[in-house]
Amino acid sequence: QVQLVESGGGVVQPGRSLRLSCAASGFTFSLYAMHWVRQAPGKGLEWLAVISYDGSNKYYADSVKGRFTISRDNSKNTLYLQMNSLRPEDTAEYYCARDALLYHSSGHCDFWGQGTPVTVSS
Partner 1 sequence: DIQMTQSPSSLSASVGDTVTITCRASQSISNYLNWYQQRPGKAPMLLISAASNLQSGVPSRFSGSGSGTDFTLTISSLQPEDFATYYCQQSYSSPPYTFGQGTKLEIK
Point out which residues bind partner 1 (CB under 8 A): 35, 37, 44-47, 50, 59-62, 95, 97, 100, 105-110, 112-115
- How many residues appear in the chain? 122
Residues 6+ apart with CB under 8 A from 81: 19, 20, 22, 36, 48, 49, 68, 69, 70, 94, 96
Min separation Cβ 36 and partner 1, Å = 11
Min separation Cβ 60 and partner 1, Å = 8
15's enclosing H/E stretch is none
Closest CA to 24 of 114, 118, 113: 113
Min separation Cβ 122 and partner 1, Å = 27
- Distance CA(103)–CA(18), nearest Å, equals 28
Min separation Cβ 56 and partner 1, Å = 15
Pick 109 or 118: Cβ nearer partner 1: 109
Pick 29 or 95: Cβ nearer partner 1: 95
Pick 44 or 66: Cβ nearer partner 1: 44
